[in-house]
Structure 1
Amino acid sequence: MILRELFIFLAAFAAFASAVAAYLAVFHGEAPLKEIFSTAAAAVIGLYVGRYFERRRLAHGG
């Protein structure tokens, strides 16, 4: 169970980071690591908040 969560976390972070890096490189011509990592971290936090609310809703018969 913990390995699955770790895999989801790493895969999501890598996916968001690569998408942000590609966007910044294409549309802004540069991709600072600080921007990439902070945006990817915020996206992963949002992902986990969404998963929490979904699980909570399903547990209460929503």
Structure 2
Amino acid sequence: MIARELFILIAAFAAFASAVGAYLAAFHGSPSVKEVLSTAFAAVIGLYVGRYLQVRLPRG
């Protein structure tokens, strides 16, 4: 279970970082590592908040 969550965390971070890096490179020139990593980190936090709310909120 912990290994699955760790895999999801790493895969999501890598996916968001590559997508953000590609977007910034294509539309805004060369991105800085700080921009890419901070945006990917924020996206992963949002992903986990969404997963938490999905489990915790009552279904109706």
TM-score class, shorter-chain normalisation, is over 0.9
What residue is the counterpart of 1:52 in the other structure? 52
CA deviation after TM superposition for structure 1 residue 51, in Å: 0.2
Overall identity of the aligned pairs, in %: 69
In the TM superposition, 1:11-22 aligns within 5 A as 11-22=11-22
Deviation at 1:3, TM superposition (A): 0.2
Post-superposition offset of 1:29: 1.1
**Partners in 2 of 1:46 and 1:12 — Cα distance?**
11
- Gap regions ≥5 residues in structure 2: none
Q: Where has structure 1 moved over 3 Å in runs of 4 or more? A: none
CA–CA distance in structure 1, aligned partners of residues 42 and 17 of structure 2: 10
Other-structure match for 2:23:
23
TM-score, normalised relative to structure 1: 0.92
Q: How far 1:7 sits from its partner (Å)?
A: 0.3
Equivalent residue pairs, number: 59
Aligned to 1:42: 42
Residue 44 of structure 1: how far off its partner (Å): 0.2
Unaligned runs of 5+ in 1: none
Q: Say which SS state the counterpart of residue 31 (structure 1) adopts.
A: coil
- TM-score by length of structure 2 reads 0.94
